[in-house]
């Protein structure tokens, strides 16, 4: 954790108190003490410093010294993700948030287990927890927007057409696509990236994406797990867009 994230409602008269994983991290990992200055950020706000007033087994109390630094710019890619297994979902949400993705759409697909949509990991509090872990790692404050779409066809045929005018175009990662992302060489601009389940998209799903103008591409001969493929794909697209590649 490289940033202590604070909710705006936790701050009163420039002070904030909490007794959760943040306090434990200050005590056990950073070995902080009262009087130390630490880096803090306000969710969807600025980054700055705070003075530790109290830190013990009852929790932490901070006084904000200044919060004037803007968070890093978001990536130019938003993510459509076929809902993975709950354990993988936790990792991907944290990684995507750390890499600057600001919109994540979790959708159904033929090879998605229907039980995944009943997972407790899809609760708003659980999703926010995983996103915050990514922000705390990357020193970012902008919380990504996550939406859940349990029906594939209505999402692709009804919702995507409303979203696409905000983007330069769409890309769909698919192990069987004949071209790599380097061979496509997409023009710079905001993109929607669709990543399928562990078994890949079925032909019908690829056809539906192509109908909406998405270009299929592959990562080459290696087939990666979703939690590996997502950060690799995001990094490749950042590089091709001429942006500074994410570091971690």
Neighbours of 106 (CB within 10 A): 24
Q: Of the candidates 12, 47, 69, which is a domain's last residue? A: 69
Q: Averaged over 149-160, what is the pLDDT?
A: 95
Asked whether residue 203 is assigned to any structural domain, the reply reads yes
Q: Averaged over 208-221, what is the pLDDT?
A: 90
Residues 81 and 51 in one domain: no
DSSP 184-216: H-PPSS-EEEEE--TT---HHHHHHHHHTTPEE
Asked whether residue 64 is assigned to any structural domain, the reply reads yes
Asked whether residue 105 is assigned to any structural domain, the reply reads yes
Residue 108 binned pLDDT confidence (cut-offs 50, 70, 90): very high
Give the pLDDT confidence of 112-132 residue by residue, as tens digits. Answer: 999 999 999 999 999 999 999
Residue 199: its pLDDT value, please? 81
Residue 193: its pLDDT value, please? 95
Q: Averaged over 214-225, what is the pLDDT?
A: 85
Residues 232 and 109 in one domain: yes
Residue 91: its pLDDT value, please? 95
Residue 242: its pLDDT value, please? 57
Residues 82 and 56 in one domain: no
Residues 48 and 81 in one domain: no
Asked whether residue 245 is assigned to any structural domain, the reply reads no
pLDDT at residue 111 is higher than 90: yes
Residues 173 and 89 in one domain: yes
Asked whether residue 100 is assigned to any structural domain, the reply reads yes
What crossing angle do the helices spanning 86-98 and 226-240 adopt, rounded to 10°?
Answer: 20
Residues 55 and 149 in one domain: no
Q: Of the candidates 48, 69, 90, which is a domain's last residue? A: 69
Residue 184: its pLDDT value, please? 77
pLDDT at residue 239 is higher than 50: yes
CB 89 within 8 A of CB 227: no
Q: Averaged over 76-95, what is the pLDDT?
A: 95
Residues 59 and 29 in one domain: yes
Residues 61 and 88 in one domain: no
Asked whether residue 246 is assigned to any structural domain, the reply reads no
Residue 49: its pLDDT value, please? 96
Which of 77-81, 183-187, 231-235 is predicted least confidently? 183-187
Mean pLDDT for the chain? 91
Asked whether residue 150 is assigned to any structural domain, the reply reads yes
Cα angle value 117/173/161 (rounded, 5°): 70
Domain of residue 65 covers 4-69
Asked whether residue 57 is assigned to any structural domain, the reply reads yes
Residue 241 binned pLDDT confidence (cut-offs 50, 70, 90): low
Residues 8 and 81 in one domain: no
Q: Averaged over 208-223, what is the pLDDT?
A: 89
Residues 32 and 89 in one domain: no
Residue 124: its pLDDT value, please? 93
What is the number of domains present in the chain? 2
């Amino acid at each position: 954790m490289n940033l202590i994230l604070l909710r705006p409602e936790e701050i009163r008269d420039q002070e904030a108190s909490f007794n959760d994983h943040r306090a434990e991290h200050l005590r056990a990992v950073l070995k902080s003490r009262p009087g130390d200055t630490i880096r803090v950020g306000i969710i969807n706000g600025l980054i700055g410093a705070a003075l530790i007033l109290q830190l013990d087994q009852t929790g932490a109390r901070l006084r904000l010294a200044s919060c004037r630094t803007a968070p890093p710019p978001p990536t130019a890619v938003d993510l459509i993700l076929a809902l993975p297994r709950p354990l993988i979902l936790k990792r991907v949400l944290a990684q995507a948030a750390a890499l600057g993705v600001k919109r994540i759409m979790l959708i159904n697909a033929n090879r998605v287990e229907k039980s995944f949509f009943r997972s407790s990991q899809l609760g708003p509090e659980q999703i926010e927890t995983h996103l915050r872990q990514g922000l705390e790692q990357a020193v970012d404050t902008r919380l990504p927007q996550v939406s859940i779409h349990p029906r594939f066809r209505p999402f692709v045929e009804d919702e995507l057409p409303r979203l696409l005018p905000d983007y330069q175009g769409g890309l769909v990662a698919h192990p069987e696509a004949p071209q790599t992302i380097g061979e496509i060489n997409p023009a710079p601009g905001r993109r929607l990236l669709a990543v399928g389940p562990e078994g890949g998209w079925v032909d019908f799903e690829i056809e539906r994406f192509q109908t909406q103008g998405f270009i299929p591409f592959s990562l080459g001969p290696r087939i990666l797990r979703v939690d590996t493929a997502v950060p690799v794909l995001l990094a490749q697209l950042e590089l091709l867009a001429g942006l500074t590649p994410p570091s971690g």
